[in-house]
């Protein structure tokens, strides 16, 4: 399976404009805790449409390698690679009135983080417990990247999900959701301090 995935990736790279679906995260990228928790998820495994699965694609914008760009309109997150390429992931984005956009940095990353609902979320969607322990039932999923403006936490995150069936839709409270397997893959690539560009509604990459 791994060999087949690598072969598909090689064909895509040689094909120029062709896109190649990346093989799912191998066991080497998962911790023992990841394997244990992802084997017993309390939600059904979603069938992600092909367009929202992980791909290597051509990338013509000017962001530097290592940058994250979120195309809110198209429901894609790009991790910029050298050589005019990027890894494109399908995501869930915020509802239009709740969507955050701008330029931030990755100020912190966490593995199976606890979720602390904000006062706004408690008022709009609650009541929730003050803290929800990390795990497969947690809305933040397997990983979270915390977005900062300077030294200030924006309270917006790029994170996993316990609702993978909504990948490709705009239903979140402003955060960017990825499948747990994809957010693990992304965190394994991203460095602290990486630039995150979230395009405003109406603009596309």
Domain ranges of the chain: 31-198
What is the set of active-site residues? 159, 175
**How far is it, in rounded angstroms, from Cα 59 to Cα 45?**
30
pLDDT tens by residue, 32-64: 999 999 988 888 788 899 999 999 999 999 999
How many degrees, rounded to 5, is the angle at CA 179 between CA 177 and CA 183? 80
pTM reported for the whole predicted model = 0.83
Q: Considering only the top CATH level, what class is 31-198?
A: mainly beta
91, 156 in Cβ contact below 8 A?
Answer: no
Q: Is 49 exposed, middle or buried (0-12, 13-18, 19+ CB in 10 A)?
A: exposed
Conformational region of residue 190, where left means phi above 0, alpha means psi within -120 to 50, and beta covers everything else: beta
- The total of other beta-carbon atoms located within 10 Å of residue 169's CB is 16
- Three-state DSSP class for 87? strand
96, 88 in Cβ contact below 8 A?
Answer: no
Name the one residue in this structure whose structure tokens are 């990353």: 109
Structure tokens at 84: 């005019």
Q: What is the pLDDT of residue 67?
A: 98
pLDDT tens by residue, 8-36: 333 333 333 445 556 544 555 788 999 99
For residue 146, the cross-strand partners are: 108, 157
């Amino acid at each position: 399976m791994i060999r087949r995935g690598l072969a598909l990736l090689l064909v895509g790279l040689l094909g120029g404009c062709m896109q190649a679906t990346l093989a799912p995260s191998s066991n080497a990228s998962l911790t023992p805790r990841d394997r244990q928790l992802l084997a017993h998820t309390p939600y059904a495994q979603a069938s992600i449409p092909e367009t929202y699965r992980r791909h290597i694609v051509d990338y013509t914008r000017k962001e530097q390698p290592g940058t994250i760009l979120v195309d809110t309109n198209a429901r894609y997150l790009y991790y910029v690679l050298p050589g005019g390429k990027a890894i494109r992931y399908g995501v869930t984005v915020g509802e239009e009135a709740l969507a955050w956009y701008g330029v931030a940095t990755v100020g912190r990353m966490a593995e199976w983080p606890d979720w602390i609902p904000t006062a706004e979320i408690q008022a709009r969607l609650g009541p929730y417990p003050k803290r929800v322990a990390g795990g497969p039932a947690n809305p933040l999923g397997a990983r979270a990247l915390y977005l900062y403006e300077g030294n200030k936490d924006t309270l917006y995150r790029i994170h996993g999900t316990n609702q993978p069936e909504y990948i490709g839709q705009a239903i979140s409270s402003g955060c960017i959701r990825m499948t747990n397997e994809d957010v693990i893959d992304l965190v394994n690539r991203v460095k602290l301090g990486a630039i995150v560009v979230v395009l405003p509604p109406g603009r596309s990459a």
